[in-house]
Chain A
Amino acid sequence: MLSWLPENIASYGDKIDSLMYLVYYITGTAFVVTELALIIFLILYRRKPGRPAAYITGNRARQALWTLVPLAVILAIDLSLDFKGTPVWNEVKAAIPPSNVLVQVQAKQFNWEVHYPGPDGKLGTADDLVMDNQLHVPVNQVVKVRLKSQDVIHSLFLPNLRFKQDVLPGREIDGWFKATKTGTYPMPCAELCGFGHSGMYGQITVHSAEDYQAWVRQQWPSS
């Protein structure tokens, strides 16, 4: 089922995907075991003349063990999932590694306005460049994305980069990713933002190092 996942091109994507697989195997096993038990009981214990039901209340300690032991196992699995998940979450969302590439994605009904800081590396200066719905980044470099919204809540979704972050008006939210493969990938909005939400869609282009230099020279020819 997880083969439906879009190709992963994020440095941290493997960690997210392997968690997904881990949960998939755990829940898959739980699914098979419980549904099988259910079906087997339904077949074995269907009504048969002359065979009354057993009187089992499940209130005695010995009987309750049948559920308490599996519960202890479930609790252990739960805690280990939390234990495995927390570092991944912290890596992706909590701390942003040092980065040389900064872009600001400013959402508005119904476009991604991408602000590039230009050669001075600073946003809000004269050499900034703005492009609608086109995000250009270099491969294998940490990209810091500064997210802002002009009106309502949007959500920047980069399926291949396993990146999703809501974009709120009235605050700046920083996110990051590192793409490991060049190419062009989808960049939809994932949060209902009005009648144009459907179709609010851009592209992220991941350039090789040389391509990226060429693209930069093309955009800022004077520098």
Chain B
Amino acid sequence: MNETAAVAHATHESPGFVRTYLFSTDHKMIAKQFLWLGLIMMLLGGLLALMVRWELAWPETQLPLMNLISEKTWEALNESGSWIARMIPNGFISPESYNSLFTMHATIMVFLVVMPILVGTFGNFLIPLQIGAPDMAFPVLNMLSFWTTALGGLVMLAGFFVPGGHAAGGWTAYAPLSAQAIYTGVNWGQHLWLISLFILGVGSLMGSINYITTVINMRARGMTWFRMPLTIWSLFITAVLLLFALPVLQAAAVLLLFDRTLGTSFYLPAGGGEPLLWQHLFWFFGHPEVYVLILPAMGIVCDILPVFSRKPIFGYKAMAVAMISIAFLGFIVWGHHMFISGMNPSLAVGFSITTILISVPAALITMNWIATLFRASIRFTTPMLFALGVVSMFIIGGLSGIFLGLAPTDIFLHDTYFVVAHFHYIVFGFSILGIFAGIYFWFPKMFGRKLNETLGKIHFLATFITFNLVFFPMHMLGIGGHMRRIYNPLQYPFLEPLQPMNVFITVSAFLLGASQILFMINFFWGLAGKKTWEQNPWEANTLEWTAAPPRPPHGNFLTPPIVHHGPYVYSLPGSTQDWAPQNEELPGKLARAAAG
């Protein structure tokens, strides 16, 4: 295309508000839509968690601020059968609503926060930009993927307002509890929960197919598989995991819905069904799902550490192979959630061995991260701090998993707060800290301006400290025998001595929640501030930082990039600058050094 043609091309269309912001097919806009969805849901999921924590610290007391509502108003609410009165009658949490609260806290956090942001936002934003493609392979499918997810989210939210309240069977929805309304008193709430999961699954699958196709087909010239940033590797592996795991969940959900509405008995023993079938199907999806929740963050950390260490990632290929093996092992460990479920006990031995084996690739990844820092030149920027937070918290979450993966010790720890501690070190310490790392890192590329570094660092410190104060003591609670999913610990005399710990955790949780206000301020301030569209603020190598500044007419690059070397060429001896963008050809001798 010659220059005049390019200009004409650039000005020929302006798609209008609806096509630009709502039904956009531009992967960068879709990424932002997923981000908004995820952040708003994070607020909701967090509030639900704080309600859960309130109840555990001060059981059966009125929630804060509820005394501002007069008794008359409560009476009126109760009489009208309002959803508020059902969820918090008179400002209190009831045993029924407590079960809905933690069920929906988890469901929202997993399916409407971590997946939309880690997979939806970073997947959409980074895949085309980092592999040098003008957009996704199927832009319309991409748009549909977001709107399907949004629809699924709406259906999920609708569950709060239906008679009987929202799903209350835990995010794992074990049958038969979830299979018949009489067991929980929840009717439409659980239906909608299942329908929503199905729809969300469709949305995710559309994304997954798109990611896989794009990575396979649309890499720029010279972007070989082993020149791809590890973020792309992680997102590609995640997409494959979703492709194999989600249909199983969807099928299981449909069967459960049939049991609930059509009178079938897939999971109901009275009609010849098998309750454990649900658990097998759910966890066949569920364990790979856990890796969906961390793999993209793993890739993000692999990309951020080198930038701020000014050093190549240690063992690039080993990292890719480790991620692949984690994903593979992820499909043959689901039984570790079922050691004491009543399945044949001899199966536990095999599942225990495969589970413990995951520590090998997991340790490899951790060690390579730490080795990346060896003889580095570390810049403690906000994204780097969050990435380092991930590294240090993964150590804890990974190690505590061994207690649970070893079948004999899991007998005691299963379904206690030890489990809650363990998986929050993963889903918060890994996924959420990873999300923050990614947002701080790519905000300049997404929105044209760096977030405030000082505020960012305070946000990191506050989050990191309070996070540990909330979740570390939960290990102790669990070892003390404190069950999860209980509404009032004081109903159990043997848990009374642990109650001060519950109070401590709740106070810390409120501080953790408050710390996120710093992020909100920073985020909105960043959006409102003057855009500089600085092209490569972190002096990084990957293609997104070389892509045309702010808005090229369409696509991402004015000319298709050509890739000359891998993404981690930092501080190459003999080079004049300590980074080497992937699209810039190095002089012969240096090029050979970078390749070797």
- Which residues of A are at the interface with B, using a C-beta cutoff of 8 A? 1-2, 4-6, 15-16, 19-20, 23-24, 26-27, 30-31, 34-35, 37-38, 41-42, 45-48, 51-59, 63-64, 66-67, 70-71, 74-75, 78, 81-82, 85-86, 88-90, 92-94, 109, 151-153, 155, 157, 159, 162-171, 173, 185-186, 188-199, 201
Contact partner, B408, options A16, A74, A201, Cβ 8 Å: A16
- Assess A56 versus B312: contact at CB under 8 Å? Given A19-B408, A71-B360, A85-B407: yes
Inter-chain contact B96/A89, CB cutoff 8 Å? no
Output the nearest chain A residue to B407 by Cβ-Cβ distance: A89
- Assess A191 versus B415: contact at CB under 8 Å? Given A35-B395, A82-B356: yes
Residues on B with C-beta less than 8 A from A58 are 312-316, 318, 368, 371-372
Inter-chain contact B476/A4, CB cutoff 8 Å? yes
B348 on interface, CB distance cutoff 8 Å = yes
Residues on A with C-beta less than 8 A from B570 are 53, 55
Inter-chain contact B491/A198, CB cutoff 8 Å? yes
B559 on interface, CB distance cutoff 8 Å = no
Q: Is the interface of A mostly helix, strand, loop or mixed?
A: mixed
Shortest A174–chain B CB gap in Å is 11
Q: Is the interface of B mostly helix, strand, loop or mixed?
A: helix
Inter-chain contact A64/B174, CB cutoff 8 Å? no
Inter-chain contact A192/B310, CB cutoff 8 Å? no
Residues on B with C-beta less than 8 A from A15 are 408
Contact partner, B367, options A55, A70, A192, Cβ 8 Å: A70
B531 on interface, CB distance cutoff 8 Å = no
Inter-chain contact B269/A169, CB cutoff 8 Å? yes
CA–CA, A185 and B346, complex, Å: 29
CA–CA, A201 and B487, complex, Å: 13
CA–CA, A120 and B95, complex, Å: 42
Inter-chain contact A20/B388, CB cutoff 8 Å? no
CA–CA, A83 and B348, complex, Å: 13
Inter-chain contact B408/A190, CB cutoff 8 Å? no
Inter-chain contact B377/A171, CB cutoff 8 Å? no
Contact partner, A48, options B177, B340, B377, B388, Cβ 8 Å: B377
Shortest A168–chain B CB gap in Å is 5
CA–CA, A198 and B483, complex, Å: 9
Select the residue from A67, A92, A94, A201 with max chain B CB neighbours within 10 A: A67
Shortest A130–chain B CB gap in Å is 22
Shortest A95–chain B CB gap in Å is 9
Select the residue from B317, B485, B486 with max chain A CB neighbours within 10 A: B486
Residues on B with C-beta less than 8 A from A56 are 311-312, 314, 371, 374-375
Shortest A46–chain B CB gap in Å is 5
Shortest B578–chain A CB gap in Å is 6
Inter-chain contact B377/A45, CB cutoff 8 Å? yes
Contact partner, A23, options B185, B273, B403, B476, Cβ 8 Å: B403
B66 on interface, CB distance cutoff 8 Å = no
- Assess A38 versus B391: contact at CB under 8 Å? Given A192-B169, A199-B488: yes
Q: Could you list 19 further interchain pairs (A-B, Cβ under 8 angstroms) beyond the known A1-B476, A38-B391, A59-B316?
A: A6-B480, A16-B412, A23-B406, A38-B370, A41-B374, A45-B309, A45-B376, A52-B578, A54-B376, A55-B312, A55-B593, A59-B315, A90-B345, A93-B345, A159-B494, A168-B269, A189-B483, A198-B485, A198-B488
CA–CA, A55 and B399, complex, Å: 31
CA–CA, A185 and B570, complex, Å: 62
- Assess A195 versus B184: contact at CB under 8 Å? Given A30-B399, A47-B378, A89-B349: yes
Shortest B165–chain A CB gap in Å is 10
Inter-chain contact B371/A45, CB cutoff 8 Å? no
Inter-chain contact B275/A169, CB cutoff 8 Å? yes
Shortest A1–chain B CB gap in Å is 6
Residues on B with C-beta less than 8 A from A196 are 95
Shortest B97–chain A CB gap in Å is 9
Shortest B558–chain A CB gap in Å is 31
Output the nearest chain A residue to B361 by Cβ-Cβ distance: A71
The residues in B between 383 and 429 inclusive whose CB is less than 8 angstroms from any CB of A are 388, 391-392, 395-396, 399-400, 402-403, 406-409, 411-412, 414-416
